[in-house]
Structure formats: C-alpha cells, structure tokens
Amino acid sequence: MEQHYIEALKTDNNTVIQELYYANRITFLVFINRYQISEDDGIDIYQDAFISLRKHAISGKLNEVQCSLKTYLFGIGKNLAYKKIKENAVKTNYDSKLHLVELDYEEIEVESENELTKEQKALQYYFKKLGKSCQQMLTLSFYRGLTNEEIATLEDYESEAVVRSQKSRCLKKLKELIKNSKN
C-alpha cells in the first residue's frame, strides 16, 4: 500500500487526508448505491470506512497490506454495507440478492468499537482536565504509537529528551488528578 498515505493517516496530515476524502467520495457513493442504501447512509458509511482505515494505519495493519488504499477502503465499505443491510433487514424484508452483487473488492472485516470500561471512563474524565498539549502528547505516545523522536519532529520539540520529560510530566499530572480525587 502507498506508504505516504499511511503516514498521512498516522500523523494527521490534513491536506493529504482531505485530498483522499474528496478523491474517493463519488466513486465510493456510486459503489455503495448498488446495495440500495440511501445517500445519507452512504456518506455515514464512507466516513466510518475512513475511520477504520485510519485505525488500521495506526495499528500497523496496513503495513502488511498489498493492495492499494482505495481497494482496501472499498473492501471496508463492503463490510459496512453488509452490516447496514442486515441492520435495515430488521426493519424491512431482507433481500438476500443484495449479498450476491458481483463486485471487484475483497471484503475487509472491521472490528466493532468497544465501549470504555468503568475504570477507563473515570480516566477519560481526568484526561479531559489536562491541558491540550498534554492530551496531544499522550495521544501521540500511546494511541498513535509514535516514538519520542517522531513526536519531536512532528510537534517541533527541541529533542527527544524534551519529549520524554514532557511526557513524564503529563503522566505525573494525570496520576495526581486521580490521586487527589480519591482523597
């Protein structure tokens, strides 16, 4: 897969992501239209597919993928469209023929989003009390999995040592917030 797109998704390169979003939008909606899904639902599916694509870029899954980004995105779209058809089938008569539409894309399985546990929800509350720069630091370190060097380059820190100490301060602050709430 195109490495520069994976990097853009991991580092939130707005220009490239926006370009990708617009470049694939119409053909994706045309593709989804075959499943007799409304245009509004089609746009929702397109956005959900983009979110899953980004998650797979961040988790490193896309590094193993051989096909193009577009083929992968449409494969996710196919999976989400099937889920939508099943969801709609609860309300109306299920048309099994829709599952037989001949298509060029291999379906890409998308995992459902897990709800946060009670403990994680409490942590989320204190996380939101941190300043924006700490929130960004912890997001880049733990969710996006960037190294200290990568964060230094992306966020214009002087060195990876500065990132390391800043991250440590943010974690300390978060632990203090939690500790103080218990006292």
Closest to other proteins by CB, 90 or 157: 157
All residues at 6 or more sequence positions from 142 whose CB lies less than 8 Å from its CB, including other chains: none
Closest to other proteins by CB, 31 or 88: 31
Angstrom CA distances, 143 to 56, 136, 146, 152, stand at 12, 10, 8, 16
List the x/- string, 16-45, binding to other proteins by CB under 8 A. Answer: -xxx-xxxxxxx-xx--x-----x--xx--
Q: Which residue, 141, 142, 143, 174, is CA-closest to 155?
A: 141
Least distance between other proteins and beta carbon 24 (Å): 8
List the x/- string, 61-90, binding to other proteins by CB under 8 A. Answer: -------x-xx--x----------------
Exposure string (b/e) for 88-109, b if CB count within 10 Å is 16 or more? beeeeeeeeebeeeeeebeebe
Contact 58, 9 (CB under 8 A): yes
Least distance between other proteins and beta carbon 107 (Å): 17
Least distance between other proteins and beta carbon 172 (Å): 12
Considering only residues 137-176, where is the footprint of other proteins by CB under 8 A?
Answer: 138-139, 141-148, 174
Between CA 74 and CA 81 the distance in angstroms is: 10
User: Six-digit token pair at 97?
Assistant: 């023929």
Between CA 60 and CA 48 the distance in angstroms is: 18
Q: To which residue do tokens 């700490």 refer?
A: 134
**16, 82, 83, 127: which one contacts other proteins (CB under 8 A)?**
127
Closest to other proteins by CB, 88 or 148: 148
- Interface contacts to other proteins, rule CB under 8 A: 12, 14, 17-19, 21-27, 29-30, 33, 39, 42-43, 47, 50-51, 54-55, 60, 68, 70-71, 74, 113, 116-117, 119-120, 123-124, 127-128, 135, 138-139, 141-148, 174
